[in-house]
Amino acid sequence: MQLIVLTPWDLTLAALLVLLLAALSWRLHLGIERRLLLAAVRSSVQLIVVGLVLGSLFATTDLRLIGLLALLMLSVAGWEVRARQKRRYRGLWSYGIGAVSMFLSSFSITVLALTVIIRVDPWYQPQYLIPLLGMLLGNTMTGVAVALDNLTRQASDARAMIEAQLLLGARWDEAIGEIRRDALRSGLIPIVNAMSTAGLVSLPGMMTGQILAGSPPLEAAKYQLLIMFLIASGTGLGSLSAVWIGSRRLFDERERLRLDRLK
């Protein structure tokens, strides 16, 4: 089977559907048309630029260039995690906790997958590294953002309960233990749900893309499985480290609950 190349005209047709939705939103006073159009324009520009950049990048195997792109991806993911927090940490922490956790999980798992599982040579070949890292970062980002948001929100709501435990002689990790577990669970639920319904309700995006591009379905399924396992472990590791660093930051060296460290 051959890859069917999409023409600009094909894309214009699909874009017309979005325009139609925007018109409907305007007619029904939903108030979402501006954001919808802006998001559509943003995704068009971003994806076309990325497509162009990747095209030329795949030709090179310059580790510095690839590293630069990977760091750019990480920093955008860091901002996204920060933006999704209702109660942010003050200072660099709001950015740092998410970025460090995603770095630890996504980068290490990507390198592991490239060197041990897929065995690409050289391991940093961008055609494999960039999409894989993107998948991992995108999903880990969601898990980390949800887990951190849950942690800080619950901790600020439960101040009296946490301090009551501290006052009766509990250590900080005992006093926040239940909240910490809850935050972790909330970060992991989306990927667990995605894995348990994968293929039954809808085909995962990557598998769909591979099939549309002409891969045999079973090969596409194997790659999808690999990605899902990587995503699950990446999300787990990332949420774990974000919740651990985040909860430690809520207490100071004398194990006092310091909600003033949140905005």
Interaction site with another protein (CB under 8 A): 158-172, 178, 252, 254-258
Give whichever of 69 and 179 is closer to another protein, judged by the CB atom. 179
- Give whichever of 175 and 220 is closer to another protein, judged by the CB atom: 175
CA-CA-CA-CA dihedral for 184, 185, 190, 195, to nearest 10: 110
Concatenating the DSSP letter of every residue in 68-135 gives HHHHHHHHHHHHHHHHT-SSPBSTTHHHHHHHHHHIIIIIHHHHHIIIIIS--SSTT-HHHHHHHHHH
CB of 245 to another protein, least distance (A): 20
- Closest among 54, 76, 78 to 129, alpha carbons compared: 54
Q: How near is the Cβ of 155 to another protein at its closest, in Å?
A: 12
Name the DSSP class of 31. S
Distance in Å, CB of 263 to another protein, minimum: 18
Min CB(173)–another protein separation in Å:
10
Q: Which is nearer to another protein, 102 or 175 (CB)?
A: 175
- As given in the structure block, the two tokens for residue 126 are 């961008």
Shortest Å, Cβ 203 to another protein? 43
Residue with smaller CB distance to another protein, 227 or 250: 250
Q: Are 190 and 146 in contact (CB under 8 A)?
A: yes
In the complex with another protein, the residue whose CB is nearer, 124 or 251, is: 251
